[in-house]
Every structure is written in structure tokens, then in C-alpha cells.
Structure 1
Amino acid sequence: MTARNWGVLMVLCGAIFLEGIDVAMLNVALPAIRAELGMSTGELQWVMSAYVLGYGGFMLVGGRAADLFGRRRMFIGWLAVFLLFSGLGGLASDGWMLIVARFVTGVAAAFMTPAGLSIITTSFEEGPQRNRALLVYSGTAAGGFSIGLVVGGLLTAIGWRWVFFAPVAMSFLILVGALTLVPESPQPERRAGRVDVAGGVAITAAIVLLVLGVERATHTSIESTLITFAAGGALLAAFVAVERRATAPLVRLGIFRSASLLRTNAIGMLLFSGFFGFQFMVVLYLQELRGWSTLQTSFALIALGLDAVLAPTLTPWLVRRFGNARLIFGGMLLSALGYAMFLPLGVDWTYAAMAPSLIMLGVGLALVYGPLTIVATDGVEDSEQGLAGGLLYTSFQFGAALGLAGAAAVNVAAPGTPLDGFRAALAVPFAAALIATSISAFSLRTGRRREPIPA
């Protein structure tokens, strides 16, 4: 790759690192935010949920917008919005202000992230060059989340508002780099009035309601949850009906005829479901049952960030040697084993007893995350690369919400001691990894053969 190619890649990696570190730092800062703003548990939960709703709900529209209105324009414009509202979050004097700021920040990330991914998939030549770029990109994303846990603990010790101000400085530098290095992307021909507004409204509302239903499942009645899911399902059906009749659909439904694409997104959803559910339970176990400090917990979980080191170094060689399908299967199998080793959790486990599982999960993520991103965009026309990225990241976000809600629900409902609750909840990520492993086994049949996306 040329020096300019590396420069473009570093800018895009900076943006995905920013998104990961922003979420991780906020996780660590929540107790301090509650103490200063006097927020109830329900309000505090919405500080996280508002971001997930904005991110997951608008991701598919954001990905398609990159295809329709220009990837560079979407990336730079929404990066500026991300910068602005991250700073406003740090200035919040009341809980509702912080919640609104987090929702808009999530929406900005939903437009910025698939635009960045599609810039990579359309700027780098398909094959080893693109694969290397995507593996570096995915490793940076994982590294942002892991490093954010530690940095968030350090910044919160100074003052929780720095958790919001620090990303402002970083996003400003990325914005300057993007204006300088990221090339203009070709914009497809569009006639006025051909943008599928009805489809965009329907799918956004549907995903927001489905994610909302998952997020609130443990905090509201089963009747309310079922009504929310039913409304989301009805809007999803309406979206399909709109797309079938639209002359220029937001999402070409033929893309879903690819079994490879469906498998990839299902594995992505289950990967994040297990990973986020596991991390949530382990954080609670270490802090609430064991009495570990925030900083101790952050350093303990940094082993999960091995992906940041392995993805750009070891994984490219493994992809060339064994192929994406085998790496995804092997990584999910290793993850399932890592979760299984954590199931007999003890009340007095040493870190040495936990470390093998954490290391295995970090390695498993390195084997799956990057190759999954490659497969999700492989064989997709340039005009739909933003859509493919939006589908993948929507699966990631929905999976994360599902894993968190599922693990929390099992933890609360499990009878016995708090330790029994943690053990029961850890079965959720284990089950998700087993299902993902089974799905990925089907990809081994196609091996190195690429399945084209139906026209």
C-alpha cells in the first residue's frame, strides 16, 4: 500500500477506535455520573440505552446513506456531529441533557461507522490488500474498547466529564486528517425524489422498537415488552412491503438471498451477544461480589483486547493459510471453550484462574472479528458496500443489546446465592457461542469458494 493509503487507513482506524473508547470509558464512569447528577438507576440505564438506540436504530439507514450521498461526505459530516455532542455530554448539568446528547452521539456513530468501513472496502483493492486493511481496522476497534476501560478509570479519577471531553480532542484530530487524506467517493446517479424516505422511516422505527424491547426487557412488564416487539415486527413487515414496491428501494431485498451474508450477520450478532453479556457479568462479579476497584477490573479485562495486537499481525497470515471460514469456525469454538471454563465460577477465584479464559476469548475475537468483516463485504458491489457494512454493524449492536438483556434477566431470575446468579447468567454467552459455532460450520462446506451476492 502507498503512504496515502496508510494515511487514509489510519484516519478510519482512528474513528473506529474513537467509537470503541467512547463506549468503554462511559461504562466505567457511570457510578460517578450518578453521584454528581443524582440520577436514579432507571435514568442511569438510559445513558447507555440512548446510545444503543441511536446507534443500532439508524445504522442501516446510515450505511445506505453513505452509498447514496457520498461516503466521504457522510463520514466527515457525522464525525463533526459526534465531536459536538460528545462535548455537550461533558457539559450536561442534568440527566436528561446527558441522555439526549448520548442518543445523538449514537446516531452520529451509526452514520459515521458504516461510511468509514465502506471507504475501506471501495478504496483498497479486493484481495490481500483489502483483507489486511480490514484486519487492522477490526483490531483497532477491539483495542479501542479494551484501552477505553483503563483510560476511562484514569479519567474518572480526575473527573467524569473528561470521559466526554477527551474524545472531543481526538475526534478533532481525526476530522482534520479526514479533510486532508480521505478522497472523494463517486456518487451514484440519483433523480430528485427517488430517495426511499418511507423505507428509511419504517426500518429505523422497527429497529429502534426491537432494540428498545430488548433493552427494557428486564425493567418492565412482559406485556409491555411483547407490545413493543409486536410493534417492531409490524413495522418490519411494513418495511418489506414498501421495499417490494419501491422503484429505488433503500435496501434491495435480493441481498438477503445470499446464505453467506445471512450466516455472517447471524454469527456477528451471536459473537457480540456473548462477548458483551460475558463482560457485563464479569464486571459485576469482580466489583460487587469480589470488591475489586474500577481500575483493577479494567486492567483485569484488558486481556480481552488481544485482538488489537493479533488482528493486524497474526490474523492476516492465518487468513492466507487457512481461509476466513476456518478461522471463524476455530475462533467461535475457542470462544465457546473460554466461556465454558468460566462456568464453574468460584467466590474466591484468583486472577490466575480467570486469565486462561480471558486470553482464549481475546484470541477467539481476533480469529473471528476481522474475517467476519471481510466475508460480510466480500462479493458486494461497490454501490452497496455501505449497506453491507450497515447490516453487519446493526447485527453487532442488536446482538450486544440481546446479550446484555439476556444475561441480566437470567442473573436476576436465578434462585440461590448471588454467585449462583452469576453462574447461571454466564450460560447465556456460552450458549450464544455454541450456536455461532454451529452456524459457522456450514461455511466450511463452501471453503475457499466465494458466494456472489444475488443481483
Structure 2
Amino acid sequence: MVQVVPDPRRWKALALLCGAFFMVILDSAIVVVALPSIETDLGFAPRDLQWVLSAYALTFGGLLLLGGRSADLVGRRRMFMIGLALFTVASLLCALAWSPAALIVARAFQGVGAAVLTPTALSIVTTTFAEGPERNKALGIWGALGGVGGTAGWLIGGPLTDISWEWIFLINLPIGATALALAPRLLRESRAVEQRRGFDPLGALAATAALVLLVYGVVEAPEAGWGDPQTVGLLVGSAVLFVLFAVVESRVAAPLLPLRILRSWTLVGANVTMLLFSTIGFGMPFILTLYAQQVLGYSAVKFGLTSIVFPLAVTVAAIAGQGLVLKIGFRVVATAGLALLGIGCLYLTQVSAGGSYFGDIFLGLLICGLGVGLTFVTCSIAALAGVDEREAGLASGLSNTTFQIGAAVGTAIVSTVAVSRTNDVIAGGGDPLGAVVEGHQAGFLACVVLAGVGVVSALLLLRRPPALGPDHPPLVPVAEQADD
């Protein structure tokens, strides 16, 4: 058995990888704050605005498995740098967008870069640190920074949007350039050399197309009607493509997602829970920023500054959650986190047209922040617990895929519920402002329901991982010169 010598640069490497991951997650969240400004400046239709988030999430989620597979086969450091370069260039294109269509296309391209970068970075973390307390500590830091990045975007996005919304994308350029310069010095190249080389483009195409049809069907349903042939056709088409994906994966020589990996209850439970968690993690902020800026009249800066309680709560809970997972297990911590998310969203259902920060938002933000921190760090650790190092890229790609699928579907569901309720109230002769508020209340209520489903998922599916058997050969690291 080949022993992997601990990399003396592993903690510096972790800092670099977490910085890149922070940039990707920050970009997902920072856009939320700028949505009202983007809507006004580029002339977005209200029901099309969510595509600024969903276009990114769709390509991100749809191609993550391919990105993770590529990292395992081609080389993790190499693919990390390719993804980082793509993401940085796409960020520049987003800043230069001149129309809604141009921004949506650029965001989709940005998602491609993120799909290569994110699972590769996480698989490097997994293969750099030995399984046990040290890896859990590293993943705890990863999860904490991910949670902070997902919420600090509100704080950072406010001042940047006040200057110009383009700066929410331009901020990625110096970060990306610095990370590209440091990667060859700090990261060791590795790949799963014993695995069959090969890719699965048909599987990637089927998965991405299925996601596009699913989200598009949900987004267009309020306008077309849930029973309309268009809606039914899109949803049925999505289901057929998901079935096709499963068939392809069971028959190709080098599947994008080997179905045997789904035999792990811990991995399945972690990903299902992550999926449900991210629907709330993106759906709730989407509605909240619109309520604060469109109803309460907050500027982007004011919203960002007053929301600082959220990232602080996420940080505290993520640090605590990493330790709690080791003591009491995945199930209890994830259940507690999702329950807190449900309670926080339930509190936010009472927002009103004449509301205030402390009366309508503060407590909900605090409780939701604690829930996000506990749930995200738990699912991040559980998704990689007990996974053979040869499949680290695959497992991390799967975890991030479910996260992004949840983001796209969650934003679509919550937006759909809110817009539908607003339209119903206006059609009934209601006051336009009151109708918007009732739409926001309905959106938060949808998040409560999703949190309830997440609690059930965590209770039923999350288990402790089995120990790896002797039939799992270790990762054979590639020498530093191998990629030259």
C-alpha cells in the first residue's frame, strides 16, 4: 500500500483553495444584492430577473460532475487552474454586459468556470488531508468560509453596487489573478491514475438539459399555467432526460456518475439534504433583498450593512457545527440547522409594508444564519466522509451539483410562488404594494415548507459512514514533475 506523505504546504494550500471557493460562493450571493440595480439599468422584466441567478446555477450544477470527473482523470491542480481562468474571464464579460441577454449568457459561461473550479478545489482539500480529525478540521474551515461567502456578499455587495453593479464582477479579477499565480507554488498535482480514462459527454448533456427544462418549466408556470401543455411538456421532458441520464450512466464504460457510489447512505443522505438546504439558502435571500429594497426602500449599502448579523451568525454556527459533528453525528446537527432555517423563515412571513429592520428582519436573519452555518458545514463533511480518495473529485462534484441544483430550483420555486401570489392579489383588486408584500410572505412560507422536508430528509437519510475496506486501494499521487 502506498503511503501519501502529508504535504508540508497543506495549510497554505487550504488558504488558497478556500479563497477561490470563497470567490465563487461570494459571486453567487453578491449578485442578489445588486438585482434591483441590474433590473433597472439593463431593463429586465420582473419574471426574467431570476435568470441572472438561475443561468449561473444551471451550468454550474449541470457540469459539476463532469468537472469533478475531469479533475480525477486529467489532474486536480491543472483543472483547478483552468476553471479559475474561465471564471475570471467570465467575470469580466459579466461586467461588460450591455443587455439582459448578454448578462445571462455571461453568467452561464461563469457557471462553466465554477463547475470546473469548485469540485476540483474540494477534491484537492480531500486528497491533501488524511481522513480523520485533520480532514474534518479542513472541511470545517471550508464549510465555514463557504457559508460566510454566501452571506458576506450582502455586506460587500452593498457598497460595490452603490458605485456601480459592474463592480460585483470586477472584484473577481484581482482575486483570480492572484490565485492563478500562487497555484503552481502551493498545490501538488494528483490524479486517480488507476481509474479508466474517459469522459461522458452524453451524460453531461442529458443532466444539464434536464435541469434547464425543469427550471424553465417552473419559472414559466405562473404565466402559462401549471396545467398548460407547455408546463407539463417541459416537466415531463425533464423527467425523461433524468431517466436517460441514469440509463447512460449504467451502460457507459466511464460514467460521469458511477451508480455504485449511490450505495452509500451517508453520501445519498448528505446530498439530498444539501439539495433541500440550498433551495432555502438561495430562495430566502432572493425574496429578502427584494423586500428590503423595494418595500422598505433600503439602498443596497444599507441592506448590506444591516444584514451583517447574518454572516456573523453563519460563522459562529459553522465553527461550532464542525466540532458538534464529531461529537454527536451528522443527523442531529443537520436537523437542528434545518429546523432553525424553518423557524427563521417562519418569522419572516410576518413582513409588512410598513415594517422595520428590527421589527421584521433582524431576528429572522439571526436564526436563519445559525441554521445555514450548522447545515452547510455538516452536509459538506458528510458528503465526503468515507469516500475513497480515488473518487474525491466525483464526490465533491456530486455535493456541489446538488447544492447548485437546489439553488436554481429553489430560486425558481420561491420566485414563482411570490409572483403568483402578487398577481392573484392584484387581479382581485388589491393594492399593488400590499400585493408585493403578500407575494414576499408567500415566498418565505414556501421556504418554511422546504425546510420541513429537509428536516425529514436529515432524520431519515443521514447516517454515520462505514469504514473503508481493504479493497479500496489508495490514491497514487502524481509526482510534481508529472504535469510538466
What TM-score comes out, normalization by structure 2 length? 0.86
Q: Distance in 2 between matches of 1:423 and 1:60?
A: 35
Q: Distance in 1 between matches of 2:288 and 2:410?
A: 13
Q: Contact 2:7/2:128 (CA < 8 Å) preserved in 1?
A: no
Q: 1:424 to 1:206 in 2, by over 3 A?
A: closer
Secondary structure at the residue paired with 1:377? coil
The more displaced of 246-255 and 363-372 is 246-255
1:380 maps to which of 384, 387, 394: 387
Q: Distance in 1 between matches of 2:273 and 2:221?
A: 23
Verify: 1:195 aligned to 2:218, yes or no: no
Q: Contact 2:57/2:408 (CA < 8 Å) preserved in 1?
A: yes
Q: Offset at 1:296?
A: 1.9
The more displaced of 221-230 and 268-277 is 221-230
Q: Which residue of 1 aligns with 2:376?
A: 369
Q: Which residue of 1 aligns with 2:479?
A: none
The more displaced of 322-331 and 360-369 is 322-331
Verify: 1:82 aligned to 2:87, yes or no: yes
Verify: 1:435 aligned to 2:439, yes or no: no
Q: 1:338 to 1:25 in 2, by over 3 A?
A: closer
- Matched AA of 1:264: A
Q: Which residue of 1 aligns with 2:408?
A: 401
Q: Contact 2:65/2:401 (CA < 8 Å) preserved in 1?
A: yes
Q: Which residue of 2 aligns with 1:255?
A: 261
Q: 1:31 to 1:352 in 2, by over 3 A?
A: closer
Could you list the per-position Cα deviations for residues 247-281 of structure 1 after superposition, in whole angstroms to 9, with x for gaps in the alignment? 22222111223333222111111111122222222
Unaligned runs of 5+ in 1: none
- Matched AA of 1:393: N
Q: Which residue of 1 aligns with 2:477?
A: none
Q: Which residue of 2 aligns with 1:184?
A: 189
2:126 maps to which of 114, 121, 124: 121
Q: Distance in 2 between matches of 1:42 and 1:372?
A: 32
Q: Offset at 1:289?
A: 2.1
Q: Which residue of 1 aligns with 2:476?
A: none
Secondary structure at the residue paired with 2:131? coil
Q: Which residue of 2 aligns with 1:165?
A: 170
Q: 1:350 to 1:77 in 2, by over 3 A?
A: same
Q: Which residue of 1 aligns with 2:429?
A: none
Secondary structure at the residue paired with 2:298? coil
Q: Contact 1:132/1:312 (CA < 8 Å) preserved in 2?
A: no
1:26 maps to which of 4, 10, 31: 31
Percent of pairs with identical residues: 36
Q: Contact 1:135/1:311 (CA < 8 Å) preserved in 2?
A: no
Q: Distance in 1 between matches of 2:48 and 2:418?
A: 21
Q: Contact 1:264/1:372 (CA < 8 Å) preserved in 2?
A: yes
Q: Offset at 1:16?
A: 1.1
Q: Distance in 2 between matches of 1:393 and 1:442?
A: 21
Could you list the per-position Cα deviations for residues 151-201 of structure 1 after superposition, in whole angstroms to 9, with x for gaps in the alignment? 222122222222221111111111112121011013424667x43333333
Q: 1:78 to 1:42 in 2, by over 3 A?
A: same
Q: Distance in 1 between matches of 2:83 and 2:465?
A: 37
Unaligned runs of 5+ in 2: 1-5, 426-433, 473-484
- Moved >6 Å (runs of 4+): 451-455
Q: Offset at 1:423?
A: 2.3
Could you list the per-position Cα deviations for residues 322-346 of structure 1 after superposition, in whole angstroms to 9, with x for gaps in the alignment? 2232211221222222222333334
Could you list the per-position Cα deviations for residues 215-244 of structure 1 after superposition, in whole angstroms to 9, with x for gaps in the alignment? 444455543232222222222222222222
Q: Distance in 2 between matches of 1:410 and 1:98?
A: 25
Q: Distance in 2 between matches of 1:65 and 1:215?
A: 32
Q: Contact 2:418/2:442 (CA < 8 Å) preserved in 1?
A: yes
Secondary structure at the residue paired with 2:98? coil
Q: Distance in 1 between matches of 2:389 and 2:467?
A: 16
Q: Contact 1:56/1:208 (CA < 8 Å) preserved in 2?
A: no
Q: Distance in 2 between matches of 1:357 and 1:39?
A: 29
Secondary structure at the residue paired with 2:350? coil
Q: Offset at 1:133?
A: 0.7
Q: Contact 2:50/2:411 (CA < 8 Å) preserved in 1?
A: no
Could you list the per-position Cα deviations for residues 287-316 of structure 1 after superposition, in whole angstroms to 9, with x for gaps in the alignment? 222222222222233322135532564333
Q: Distance in 1 between matches of 2:216 and 2:178?
A: 34
Q: Which residue of 2 aligns with 1:358?
A: 365
The more displaced of 239-248 and 217-226 is 217-226
What is the aligned length?
452
Q: Offset at 1:385?
A: 1.5
Could you list the per-position Cα deviations for residues 109-159 of structure 1 after superposition, in whole angstroms to 9, with x for gaps in the alignment? 011111111111111111111111111111111222222222222122222
Q: Which residue of 2 aligns with 1:306?
A: 312
Verify: 1:286 aligned to 2:304, yes or no: no
Verify: 1:422 aligned to 2:429, yes or no: no
Verify: 1:153 aligned to 2:171, yes or no: no
The more displaced of 49-58 and 131-140 is 49-58
Q: Offset at 1:71?
A: 1.4
Alignment of structure 1 residues 10-89 onto 2, 5 Å: 10-41=15-46, 44-89=49-94
Could you list the per-position Cα deviations for residues 70-94 of structure 1 after superposition, in whole angstroms to 9, with x for gaps in the alignment? 2111111110111112112222334
The more displaced of 371-380 and 251-260 is 251-260
Q: 1:218 to 1:138 in 2, by over 3 A?
A: farther
Q: Distance in 2 between matches of 1:17 and 1:112?
A: 11
Q: 1:160 to 1:356 in 2, by over 3 A?
A: closer
Q: Which residue of 2 aligns with 1:295?
A: 301
Q: Distance in 2 between matches of 1:191 and 1:323?
A: 35
Q: Offset at 1:42?
A: 5.8
Q: Distance in 2 between matches of 1:362 and 1:372?
A: 16
Q: Distance in 1 between matches of 2:318 and 2:335?
A: 19
Q: Offset at 1:395?
A: 1.3
Secondary structure at the residue paired with 2:387? coil
- Matched AA of 2:160: L
Alignment of structure 1 residues 240-251 onto 2, 5 Å: 240-251=246-257
Verify: 1:341 aligned to 2:347, yes or no: yes
Q: Distance in 2 between matches of 1:405 and 1:154?
A: 27
Could you list the per-position Cα deviations for residues 396-422 of structure 1 after superposition, in whole angstroms to 9, with x for gaps in the alignment? 122122222222222233354423332
Verify: 1:102 aligned to 2:107, yes or no: yes
- Matched AA of 2:290: L
The more displaced of 425-434 and 2-11 is 2-11
Q: Distance in 2 between matches of 1:382 and 1:94?
A: 44
Q: CA RMSD in A?
A: 2.6
Q: Which residue of 2 aligns with 1:212?
A: 216
Q: Which residue of 2 aligns with 1:320?
A: 326
The more displaced of 424-433 and 284-293 is 284-293
Q: 1:169 to 1:217 in 2, by over 3 A?
A: farther
